[in-house]
Amino acid sequence: MKRWIALAAALCATVALADYPDKPIRLIVPFAPGGVTDTSGRLVAEALSRRLGQPIVVENKAGASGNIGVQQVAMAPPDGYTLVLGFDGTLVINPHVFPNFPIDVQKDLEPVGKIGDAVLILVAHPSFPAKTLPALIDYSKKQPNGLSYGTSGVGGTPHIAGELLKLKTGANLVHVPYKGGGQAMTDALGGNIPLVYTAVAGALQHVKAGKLVPIAVSSAKRVGSLPDTPTFIEAGVPGFEVSSWVAILAPAKTPRPIVEKLNRELNAVLTDPAIVERLATLGIEVTPGSPQKLADQIRDDLAKYGEVVKAAGIKAE
């Protein structure tokens, strides 16, 4: 009897895969339109829809730092027709920052595949006296009130990166949260704050123009667009690697054949040179891989960032 049940289940899965998709797919972006995450999601959705032969309709469901959109997908039918554009800040940092985070990421969502990593960078106003990371750390320890650094807000990946730098080096840094990365950048350009931690894409043009000084990038290797800027590891902080990543996930219990098909087509999209180049202009380095690889990263990052959030005492306002 068990054998027949297994065969029936396999047959149903095969039929489901053969028909899938036979109608439009929704991709929930849990942020407002226009940001790097939203733009990258729309780019991938357009290319993926061509491969699947069905429209992928992007819907922005902003609110609560991405929690509202993610919860909506977690509660959707697990049929492959509702997906979410996952962001590390929402999936592996928010569960530690928000006391009432609405879902269990590892139980309520099914990883489909990772799109890529957005490297972070620490930049300074040209008037700032320290031009290297060791000099910055030393300078910060001599400031009675600490050294301010701005980010896009409390609990975001740049904030976590700044707190991790404090923990690893003893730097006397003071977080100044803004309501968005654009506001933090404006204050840095105006000299109102000495440092900003942000995505490379948001700072690149200002660094190229000499309006900001790059201190270090948070990737494992140097960034092609800034080949003279060292990594934090090269600058003397072993193991310091913090990238903001973006991925696609489905509701838990989505049939495995559907997940695997979506993963195959997503990975195919990410090998298209035109897509790779366009994502690179957004500061995203493509990192195609398996659903399991994404699941492993979510598990590891939940543990890593949980320690940082606890040590820094970070809580959502």
- Work out the average pLDDT over 165-179: 93
Question: What's the CA gap between 221 and 223, in Å, rounded?
Answer: 7
pLDDT (tens digit, 9 = 90+) per residue, 56-67?
999 999 888 889
- 97 shares its domain with 127: no
| Total domain count, the chain | 2
Least confident among 8-17, 100-109, 140-149 = 8-17
- β pairing state of 25-29 and 56-60: parallel
pLDDT (tens digit, 9 = 90+) per residue, 94-136?
999 998 999 999 999 999 999 999 889 999 999 999 999 999 9
- 177 shares its domain with 73: no
- 297 shares its domain with 270: yes
Question: What's the CA gap between 317 and 159, in Å, rounded?
Answer: 14
Q: What is the mean pLDDT of the chain?
A: 91
Given phi > 0 = left and psi -120 to 50 = alpha, else beta, which region is 189? Answer: alpha
The position carrying tokens 């993926």 is 48
- Indicate which CATH number applies to the domain containing 152: 3.40.190.10
Q: Give, rounded to a whole angstrom, the gap between the first and last alpha carbons of the chain.
A: 55
Q: Bridge partners of 85?
A: 248
DSSP assignment letter at 231: B
- Work out the average pLDDT over 149-161: 88
- Is residue 229, in this structure, part of any structural domain at all? no
Q: What is the domain extent for residue 71?
A: 2-117+244-312
Confidence at residue 271, expressed as pLDDT on a 0 to 100 scale = 97
Residues 110 and 78 sit within 8 Å (Cβ to Cβ): yes
The answer to pTM > 0.95 is no
- 42 shares its domain with 6: yes
